[in-house]
Amino acid sequence: MSEEIRSPLAGKVWTVTVKEGDTVEEDDEIMVLEAMKMETPVYSSVDGTVKEIKVKKGDAVEEDDVLVVIE
């Protein structure tokens, strides 16, 4: 079963701290978004393996966009 990690807000991808194939645990930081000069970490909501990263550093994202798929 796959879990989609979605953007909590509109902003820009500041850093991506995981790669496809990485194993993550619930509450691991997977990326940092920047909005209004504030950095907002995004955390995994599940344990699993990063199946797909849908964004890259510098991409603009909207609230609720899919950022990462974890299997």
Rounded mean pLDDT of 20-38? 97
Evaluate if pTM is beyond 0.85: yes
- Judge whether residue 42 has pLDDT over 90: yes
- Judge whether residue 39 has pLDDT over 90: yes
Q: Which fold would CATH assign to domain 3-70?
A: OB fold (Dihydrolipoamide Acetyltransferase, E2P) (2.40.50)
Contact assessment for residue 43 and residue 31, using Cβ atoms and an 8 Å cutoff: no
Tell me how crowded residue 44 is: count the other CB atoms within 10 A of its CB. 20
| Domain boundary assignment for the chain | 3-70
C-alpha 67/C-alpha 30 separation (Å) is: 9
- Judge whether residue 1 has pLDDT over 90: no
